[in-house]
């Protein structure tokens, strides 16, 4: 088996190299919104900001090229005796103001089963996000 | 276009760290940290296809215990789980370097078997 050793790989033109039919994630974070909001593990994120219960802004270290990146997100399972549905949403804000090339904002929502209007923010001990897209 | 063919890439300064230039040509990103280290597609509580999984065990209704073939360096990986039900989760309590527990709940919080599910994990390998 041949092994190629290098610290940095570029295309011959100095740009991004093509990984045959594959793309690597550009950032990931595992964080908690329990007070205090904190980072558990991460790659290419610089900070998390607590905007209130279940409301968090995550800053990206090396910026994305545009705001059209994808953010798969996931909640941990810690307490399920509340008879409701928990989801993590990416908040775009009015006109997309909450999603920029350098930050995105998440909301952890609890929806009470049987009520279409009962939706509240809540904190969660584990929440995970991954960022896929083009770097600046 | 030039093309390098090899079976293995290794960093020269640090074996497990290779930078690749980003799409905009102005920044670099760490190749190893960006790669998904584990993925799983399952159906009927059994593996259909996977990467870096050594075992999937049906330990109860709506519960799958999965074991990683190559462990993570710590338990702070970023994981994702989707199914055809309202509440797919990853157990907080069962999060470890070598294992994870996939949970699937309906809208009433009851554990139920998913018809099919998908999971991915990003983080640092040991």
Distance CA A124, CA B82 (A): 18
Each residue's pLDDT tens digit, A109-127 = 988 766 666 788 999 999 9
What pLDDT score does A80 carry?
Answer: 62
DSSP A14-73: SSPPPBTTB---SEEEEEE-SSSPEEEEEESEEEEEEEETTEEEEEESSPBSSS--B--E
pLDDT of residue B42 exceeding 90, the answer is yes
Handedness of CA A34, A73, B104, B76 (dihedral sign): negative
CB proximity under 8 Å: A 27-66 to B: 28-30, 40-44, 62-63, 65
What pLDDT score does B56 carry?
Answer: 97
Q: What per-residue string of b and e applies to A111-135 under the rule 16 or more CB within 10 Å gives b?
A: beeeeeeeeeeebbebbbbbbbbbb
Question: Rounded to the nearest 5°, which phi and psi values hold at B47?
Answer: -65, 135
Helix, strand, or coil here: A74? strand
Which residues in B lie closer than 8 A to residue A63 (C-beta atoms)? 27
Each residue's pLDDT tens digit, A20-70 = 878 899 999 999 999 899 999 999 999 999 999 999 999 999 999 999 999
Which one-letter DSSP state was computed for residue B92?
Answer: S
Each residue's pLDDT tens digit, B98-110 = 999 999 988 888 8
Which residues in A lie closer than 8 A to residue B18 (C-beta atoms)? 6-9
Closest Cα of chain A to B112: distance in Å?
A: 13
Cβ-defined contact of B29 to A12 (cutoff 8 Å) = no
B74–chain A Cβ distance below 8 A for any pair: yes
Token pair belonging to A74: 């996931």
Residue B47 pLDDT grade (very low, low, confident, very high; cuts 50, 70, 90): very high
Scanning B27-117, the segments in alpha helix (DSSP H) are 31-34
Cβ-defined contact of A15 to B27 (cutoff 8 Å) = no
Kindly provide the ipTM of the predicted complex, given to two decimals.
0.84
- Cβ(A46)–Cβ(A104) below 8 Å: no
Cβ-defined contact of B31 to A129 (cutoff 8 Å) = no
Each residue's pLDDT tens digit, B57-82 = 999 999 999 999 999 999 999 999 99
What pLDDT score does A14 carry?
Answer: 84
């Amino acid at each position: 088996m041949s092994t190629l050793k290098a610290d940095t790989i570029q295309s011959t033109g100095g740009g991004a190299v093509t990984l045959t039919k594959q793309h690597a994630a550009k950032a990931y974070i595992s964080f908690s919104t329990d007070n205090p909001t904190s980072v558990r593990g991460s790659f290419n994120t610089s900070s998390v900001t607590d905007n209130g219960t279940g409301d968090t802004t995550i800053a990206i270290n090396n910026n994305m090229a545009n705001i059209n990146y994808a953010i798969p997100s996931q909640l941990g399972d810690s307490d399920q005796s509340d008879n409701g549905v928990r989801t993590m949403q990416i908040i775009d804000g009015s006109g997309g103001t909450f999603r920029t090339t350098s930050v995105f904002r998440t909301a952890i929502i609890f929806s009470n089963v049987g009520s279409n209007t009962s939706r509240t923010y809540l904190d969660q001990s584990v929440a995970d996000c991954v960022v896929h897209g083009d770097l600046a | 276009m030039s093309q390098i063919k090899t079976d293995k890439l290794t960093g020269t300064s640090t074996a497990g760290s290779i930078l690749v230039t980003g799409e905009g040509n102005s920044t670099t990103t760490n190749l190893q940290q960006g790669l998904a280290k584990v993925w799983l597609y399952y159906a009927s509580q059994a593996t259909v296809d996977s990467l870096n999984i050594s075992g999937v065990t049906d330990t109860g209704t709506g519960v799958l215990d999965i074991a990683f073939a190559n462990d993570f360096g710590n338990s702070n990986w970023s994981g994702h789980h989707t199914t055809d039900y309202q509440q797919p989760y990853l157990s907080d309590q069962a999060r470890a370097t070598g294992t994870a527990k996939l949970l699937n709940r309906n809208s009433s919080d009851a554990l139920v078997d998913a018809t099919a599910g998908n999971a991915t994990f990003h983080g640092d390998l040991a």
